Amino acid sequence: MSASVSAGGSGSRLVKNEAVARALGRRRHRINVVIKALCVAATILGLLMLSSILFTLLWRGMDGLGLSVFTQMTMAPGSNGGLLNAIVGSLIQTGIGTLLGTPIGLMVGTYLSEYGGNSPLANAVRFVSDVLLSAPSILIGLFIYALIVAPFGGFSGIAGCVALAVIVIPIVVRTTEDMLSLIPTSMREAAVALGAPKWKMIVLICYRAAKDGIVTGVLLAVARIAGETAPLLFTSLGNLNWSVSLREPMASLPVTIYQYAGSPFDDWVQLAWVGALLITFGVLAINILARVVLRGGK
Amino acid sequence: MQQAISTLPPARALSQRRQNIGDLVFATVARASGILVLLLLGSLIVTLFIGGLPAFRAFGVPFVYTVDWDPVQQIFGAAVPIYGTLVTSVLALILAVPLAFGIAFFLTELAPSWMRRPVGTAIELLAAVPSIIYGMWGFFVIVPVMSQTVQPWVIDNFGDLPLIGDFFQGPPFGTGIFTAALILAVMVIPFIAATMRDVFDTVPAVYKESAYGLGCTTWEVMRSIVLPYTRASVVGGIMLGLGRALGETMAVTFVIGNTNRIATSLFGPGNTIASLVALEFPESPAGSLKLSALLALGFILFVISFIVLAISRTLLRPRLKA
């Protein structure tokens, strides 16, 4: 347009502008390609990290993985011990921790979704629960130490269970509230219209409809506490002997791994790798199971 | 008929009363559980504070800037672990944020749709690996690489530069502040990436499509449309990562070198609040001033993470709820 109207000088300016525009376009394109490549590289790096961890665990842990790991207690270095007491201790504490924490978390989630609404109390509970969800787990260990261990005479399995339960609560709260809030109001209205009291509506209709989501939350909580070390250091302490008493210090897989991995004995380090292999693949399997459950529900 | 009418009112009243009682009990239990959560956090704060009170009394405000940690002379200061906590966490974020952004960008805009779920799940699984595993992996895999390859090279090439050279000097132990930050970065990447991905997904497709329609490249859409639209929430996701990094214990304990000294070099050893508490706790008898100092450190850590998490939540909640 401008070329046809004006003569000479401005025509060459147009050519120049076009060249600039083309160069700019190339530059934009180049930046785009470079950044895309960097993003792909970042993702590959992330996946490499995961595979490096899993590969290291398999490589170092497979050698020591034998039947004796599951049949023998932890023993002095050099005497072919296993991890039986640690595995049992972990199962007990994870189980009781989940059983203690889940009902509380479920009720809190129910309160937030069905009763609290946007009241100041409900918002405060939501806020506090979110903070607890990401609060450093070592502080929860210190808290239970000062609350239960110190006043009631010593480290005990039950203190470990309570510490783990505190970690479970906010995880279950979050998923329960999210899942209950997805249930359509018409379903609730239908229940109420049939004459069901509110609590029956929640228990029989809402919980049933949100079952998959709630189970997912509980599974994620189990996966999280099964690998927790820091809170157990101050509560159940760890125990190299066989003990299933909740009043005694209790062994657990993560704490045993921590003690063994830092030791100078080769067979202990080897057992630490076996324990690490077991716990990581266990935790990852539960995580994947949780995702499958959630997806199956949709 | 006559009979039915006469028996109906009392039956209904009875069931009504039963319903009311059921509702009352259920509502009360639900509300009480909510209050229990409030009490839990409240008592956590109070317990840590009361436990740390003897140390706060003995040292006063200088507790937070005293660098000594001397159990023999009963002098305890929090400056070194506070410094270590902040430096490792911030360094970890500097390393993690670009990578997490790249992953989130890839997962929301670049990846073909069949790839999004498996890759996203794999990144999320990185967050599920227990922290003690990161500690072992860091100690047995990353530390040797750092001490034999990375650190000697960096020290040779950057150690003599003016101004920044000081950060890269000293013997290549492999452990230290930088390695701890590196492990922390790997640990927080999945949290930040997952949050960013969820936030990026909330941008209305119309906005992006109009930008593409104007001829924007993918990166330009990200920079000019998606990022400005989600800025607050992205910062919230980063703060969430920071909150995680601050309190990480087991992984850091394995690789930081555990020395109560402020090193100029990033390769120097140090400690963090969490690693100091985990290591010193077994040697702190109940009722000792040292134990109180550890609880006081726990209180300080709680205050720092509480502030960070509160900011994070304020920035994130409105976007992810909507």
CB pairs under 8 A between A and B: 254
| B contacts of A288 (beta carbons < 8 Å) | 121, 125
Query: Of A67 and A164, which is predicted with more confidence?
Result: A164
Distance in angstroms (rounded) separating the CA atoms of residues B226 and B196: 11
Q: Is the pLDDT of residue B170 over 50?
A: yes
Q: Which of A112, A137, A233 sits opposite B34 (nearest CB)?
A: A112
Distance in angstroms (rounded) separating the CA atoms of residues B11 and B3: 12
pLDDT tens by residue, A152-174: 878 999 999 999 999 999 999 99
Q: Is the pLDDT of residue A7 over 70?
A: no
- Cross-chain Cβ contact A143/B301 below 8 Å: no
SS (H, E, C) chain A: CHHHHCCCHHHHHHHHHHHHHHHHHHHHHHHHHHHHHHHHHHHHHHHHHHHHHHHHHHHHHHHHCCHHHHHCCCCCCCCCCCCHHHHHHHHHHHHHHHHHHHHHHHHHHHHHHHHHCCCHHHHHHHHHHHHHHHCCHHHHHHHHHHHHHCCCCCCCHHHHHHHHHHHHHHHHHHHHHHHHHCCCHHHHHHHHHCCCCHHHHHHHHHHHHCHHHHHHHHHHHHHHHHCCCHHHHCCCECCCCCCCCCCCCECCHHHHHHHHHCCCCHHHHHHHHHHHHHHHHHHHHHHHHHHHHHHHHC
ipTM of the complex: 0.90
Cα Dmax for chain B: 105
Query: Of A61 and A7, which is predicted with more confidence?
Result: A61
Nearest C-alpha neighbor of B236 from the set B97, B86, B41, B132: B97
Q: Residue B59's CB: how many other CB atoms inside 10 A?
A: 18
- Cross-chain Cβ contact B131/A230 below 8 Å: yes
Nearest C-alpha neighbor of A89 from the set A263, A294, A242: A242
Mean pLDDT on B158-173:
80
Q: What local confidence, expressed as pLDDT, does residue A242 receive?
A: 84
Q: Which of B111, B121, B281 sits opposite A291 (nearest CB)?
A: B121
List B70's β-bridge partners, or say none.
B75
Q: Is the pLDDT of residue B48 over 60?
A: yes
Q: Is the pLDDT of residue A41 over 90?
A: yes
- Cross-chain Cβ contact B98/A137 below 8 Å: no
Q: What local confidence, expressed as pLDDT, does residue B284 receive?
A: 87
- Rounded to two decimals, what is the model's pTM? 0.91
Q: Which residue of A has its CA nearest to B300?
A: A139
User: Chain B closest CA to A104's CA: distance in Å?
Assistant: 6
Q: What local confidence, expressed as pLDDT, does residue B11 receive?
A: 59
Helix (H, G, I), strand (E, B) or coil at B76: strand
In sequence order, which residues have a C-beta less than 8 Å from that of residue B91 and are 6 or more positions away?
Answer: B177, B178, B181, B184, B185, B266
- Cross-chain Cβ contact B136/A273 below 8 Å: yes
